């Protein structure tokens, strides 16, 4: 018997799962924390380190109690987080302020400057992250912080991804040179590329803004894939979590990447991790650069393969916003549309409410709904939003296939597909492919798999997936609905590229 803990930090909560390598999940604990917003600035989204730490303790206690397992039996811990959620820290790795959460877009100007300069000098690293640098990513956010916090600059030592900060915290690491930097996070969000010598040159970074002078050196650490050890669990956090000190903790990763592993991702699969946003995950052995995606990184999803990431910036939070404005819950509205058919609302929705992550890579875009009439309801808008996100997903899948990425299976992971069968049905018909939904919740299973590897319970990712995979329920497309969506998708695609400026097509 081997027992581990998988930790998953999402946008609004942390989930701790206790897994046995034969019996699967034994118990789950969840604790929430706030997303700090600013009504005067829609681009603002922040969180606090102390909130995450406190919630982790609570969730761990709940998970151990639910599993009826004493903490001393847990053999390893692994964790993933949202990203790029970055934290400026001092020389002891203490935060100098709140996190810039992944969905914080205050750095859109900085991202545009980085993109412009990189295109000007034909920076190879930019091609590996889709041809456009995003406001959701690390260099843009740290530059925005440096420009906005002059009084704190003298204390600034480095910036660190949330997953790397939490791993360092649990291990008791306070020396930045010893921090385990996630290849997953740094590759997709910071243009780190081992084949290109790591980060873009000092000369390039300083040319964007002199405030980035020396940033390469500040980002030192141990760059590791998730099958490598970050360190042992330290005494302080062992006591706080009720575990044994010294158990192994591997390098962390981004939540959607490990969710894809938990959902059974292999080459030929596309995993849509659908939550607050959607992350589109795929694997390849033969990397081919793809304009408009969020990067190709060796070892980012699977330690021995090239991970591809794309996605939508607003999905679950878009559905929630529609329901909130109407004074309802998403569950209430979803009940009203469970029998809606393809295109019946007459609405066409572009889910740009938080910008476009892929393939336009434009954070300044705003949501558009075409076709409003007096009879339309909030439920109709929700259905149109589901259709719009599915159309947007098809744009992304078209792009992946155009550049040689096979799309043989589409797997829906994350929380929303388990609660919203209308979404799965619409996606199956829009994509004209069966949608595979894991038979039980796989949240945290990816982190557990890497914890099991650290504990030596399995020899490979594939062996762990085979042992722990729940199998799938399939939602098949319906021919009559597919025909309607073929027509609507052609209209959507044409408008998708013509309504936006600075497109990549």
pLDDT values of the chain reduced to their tens digit, one per residue, 505 residues: 799 999 999 999 999 999 999 999 999 999 999 999 999 999 999 999 999 999 999 999 999 999 999 999 999 999 999 989 999 999 999 999 999 999 999 999 999 999 999 999 999 999 999 999 999 999 999 999 999 999 999 999 999 999 999 999 999 999 999 999 999 999 999 999 999 999 999 999 999 999 999 999 999 999 999 999 999 999 999 999 999 999 999 999 999 999 999 999 999 999 999 998 999 999 999 889 999 998 899 999 999 999 999 999 999 999 999 999 999 999 999 999 999 999 999 999 999 999 999 999 898 899 999 999 999 999 999 999 999 999 999 999 999 999 999 999 999 998 899 999 999 999 999 999 999 999 998 989 999 999 999 999 999 999 999 999 899 999 999 999 999 999 999 999 999 999 976 444 4
CA distances from 192 to 116, 222, 413 (A): 18, 13, 27
Question: 435-438 and 409-413: which strand pairing?
Answer: parallel
3-state secondary structure of 347: coil
- State whether CATH 3.30.420.40 applies to domain 3-254: yes
Q: Which two tokens stand for residue 274?
A: 């659908």
What pLDDT digit, counting tens, does each position of 333-344 carry? 999 999 999 999
Closest C-alpha to 417, from 407, 409, 428, 406? 428
Measured CA to CA, the distance from residue 119 to residue 125 in angstroms comes to 10
What pLDDT digit, counting tens, does each position of 268-326 carry? 999 999 998 999 999 999 889 999 998 899 999 999 999 999 999 999 999 999 999 99
Measured CA to CA, the distance from residue 270 to residue 337 in angstroms comes to 27
Question: 74-81 and 229-232: which strand pairing?
Answer: unpaired
Would you state the pLDDT for residue 502?
46
Per the prediction, the chain carries an average pLDDT of: 96
Q: Which two tokens stand for residue 231?
A: 């360190």
Burial (Cβ within 10 Å: 0-12, 13-18, ≥19) of residue 396: buried
CA distances from 498 to 66, 294, 495 (A): 52, 22, 5
Domain ranges of the chain: 3-254, 265-441+471-505
Closest C-alpha to 415, from 481, 474, 355, 331? 331
Measured CA to CA, the distance from residue 234 to residue 118 in angstroms comes to 41
421 membership: H or E segment, kind and range: helix 421-431
Q: What CATH code would you report for 265-441+471-505?
A: 3.30.420.40
Measured CA to CA, the distance from residue 288 to residue 123 in angstroms comes to 17
Angle between helices 421-431 and 378-402 (to 10 degrees): 40
Determine phi and psi for 471, rounding to 5 degrees: 80, 180
Residue 255 DSSP symbol: H
Residue whose pair of structure tokens reads 């001092």 in the numeric block:
90
Q: Do domains 3-254 and 265-441+471-505 have the same CATH topology?
A: yes
Would you state the pLDDT for residue 287?
86
């Amino acid at each position: 018997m081997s027992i581990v803990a998988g930790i998953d930090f999402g946008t609004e909560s942390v989930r701790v799962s206790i897994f046995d390598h034969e019996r699967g999940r034994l118990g789950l604990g969840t604790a929430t924390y706030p997303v700090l917003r600013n009504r005067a600035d829609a681009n603002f989204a922040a969180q606090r380190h102390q909130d995450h730490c406190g919630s982790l303790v609570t969730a761990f206690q709940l998970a151990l109690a639910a599993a009826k397992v004493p903490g001393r039996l847990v053999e390893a811990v692994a964790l993933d987080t949202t990203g790029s959620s970055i934290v400026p820290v001092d020389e002891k790795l203490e935060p100098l302020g709140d996190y810039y959460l992944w969905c914080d877009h205050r750095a859109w100007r900085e991202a545009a400057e980085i993109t412009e300069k990189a295109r000007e000098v034909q920076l190879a690293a930019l091609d590996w992250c889709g041809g456009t640098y995003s406001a959701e990513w690390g260099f843009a956010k740290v530059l925005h912080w440096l420009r906005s916090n002059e009084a704190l600059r003298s204390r600034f030592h480095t910036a660190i991804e949330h997953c790397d900060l939490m791993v360092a915290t649990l291990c008791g690491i306070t020396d930045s040179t010893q921090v385990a930097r996630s290849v997953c996070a740094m590759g997709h969000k910071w243009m780190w590329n081992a084949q290109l010598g790591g980060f873009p040159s000092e000369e390039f970074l300083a040319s964007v803004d002199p405030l980035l002078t020396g940033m390469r050196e500040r980002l030192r650490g141990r760059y590791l894939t998730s099958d490598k050890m970050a360190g042992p669990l330290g005494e302080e956090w062992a006591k706080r979590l009720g575990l044994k000190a010294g158990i192994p903790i591997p390098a962390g990763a981004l939540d959607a990447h490990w969710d894809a592993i938990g959902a059974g991702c292999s080459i030929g699969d596309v995993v849509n991790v659908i939550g607050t946003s959607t992350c589109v995950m795929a694997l390849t052995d033969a990397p081919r650069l793809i304009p408009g995606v969020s990067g190709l990184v060796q070892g980012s999803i699977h330690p021995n393969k090239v991970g591809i990431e794309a996605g939508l910036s607003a999905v679950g939070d878009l559905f929630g916003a529609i329901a909130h404005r109407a004074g309802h819950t998403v569950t209430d509205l979803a009940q009203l549309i469970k029998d809606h058919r393809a295109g019946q609302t007459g609405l066409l929705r572009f889910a740009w409410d938080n910008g476009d992550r892929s393939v336009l890579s434009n954070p300044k875009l705003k949501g558009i709904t075409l076709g409003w009439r007096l009879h339309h309801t909030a439920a109709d808008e929700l259905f149109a939003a589901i259709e719009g996100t599915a159309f947007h997903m098809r744009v992304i899948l078209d792009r992946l296939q155009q550049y040689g990425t096979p799309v043989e299976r589409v797997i829906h992971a994350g929380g929303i597909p388990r609660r919203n069968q209308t979404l799965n049905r619409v996606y199956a018909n829009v994509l004209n492919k069966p949608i595979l939904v894991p038979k039980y919740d796989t949240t945290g299973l990816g982190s557990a798999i890497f914890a099991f590897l650290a504990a030596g319970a399995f020899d490979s990712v594939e062996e762990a997936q085979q042992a722990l995979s729940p199998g799938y329920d399939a939602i098949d497309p319906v021919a009559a609905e597919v025909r309607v969506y073929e027509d609507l998708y052609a209209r959507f695609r044409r408008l998708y590229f013509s309504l936006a400026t600075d497109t990549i097509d």
